[in-house]
Amino acid sequence: MLRKFGLVALALAWFFAANAQAFTMVDTKGKTHRLQDYKGKWVLVNFWATWCPPCLEEMPDLQKLHETRKDLVVLGIAMDYKDPQYVISFADDLLVTFPIVLGNQKIASQIGRISGLPTTYLYSPQGTLAAQNVGALTRQSVERYIDQWNATSKPAARK
C-alpha cells in the first residue's frame, strides 16, 4: 500500500512540475508568451499588484533587468485587480516596458503557488525552475543568482 502511494505521489509531483514548466499566457498587447519559446534565456515571472508596496519597490529593478540583460525575459503578472485598464495605465505610469499579463488563478496555477505578493519564479535557460522568491527582490540579487549559476554550471549542462 505504501509503495502504491509513493508511486502516485511521484506521478503527481511529476505532473505538477511538468505543468509549471509549460505555461502559456497572453499579455496586455495580445502577444502570447510560452516558456518553451524562451529556451536559451532566463525567464523571470513576477506576480504583483498595484496596491502592493513591495511590488512597487521592486518594479524599477525589474525594468532595469529587462532593459540591460539580453539573456533574461521579464514577465509581470498583475494579480488582484478590478479594472484591467487601470493596471495598464498604472504600468505605463511606472514606465514599465516588459510584458504585463492580467493574471488570475488559472494563469497562476500554470506557474506555481502564490503565497504572497510579490512572488517571483526564475526559470533557467533550459526551461527548468531554478528559483522562487516570495517578497521583494533586487536587480543585484537576480544578477548574483544568475552569475553564480553560470559559474557553477558545467558547460555541457548549458547547451
Task: Give me 38's grid cell.
Answer: 524562451
The average pLDDT across 116-140 equals 97
pLDDT at 159 over 90: no
pLDDT at 103 over 80: yes
SS3 sequence of 6-18: HHHHHHHHHHHHH
Q: Where are the alpha helices (DSSP H) in 21-133?
A: 53-68, 84-93, 105-111
pLDDT at 6 over 50: no
| pLDDT 10s digits, 56-82 | 999 999 999 999 999 999 999 999 999
Q: How far apart are CA 147 and CA 32, in angstroms?
A: 28
Q: What is the pLDDT of residue 12?
A: 36
Residue 113 near residue 79 (C-beta atoms within 8 A): no
The CATH architecture annotation of domain 27-158 reads 3-Layer(aba) Sandwich (3.40)
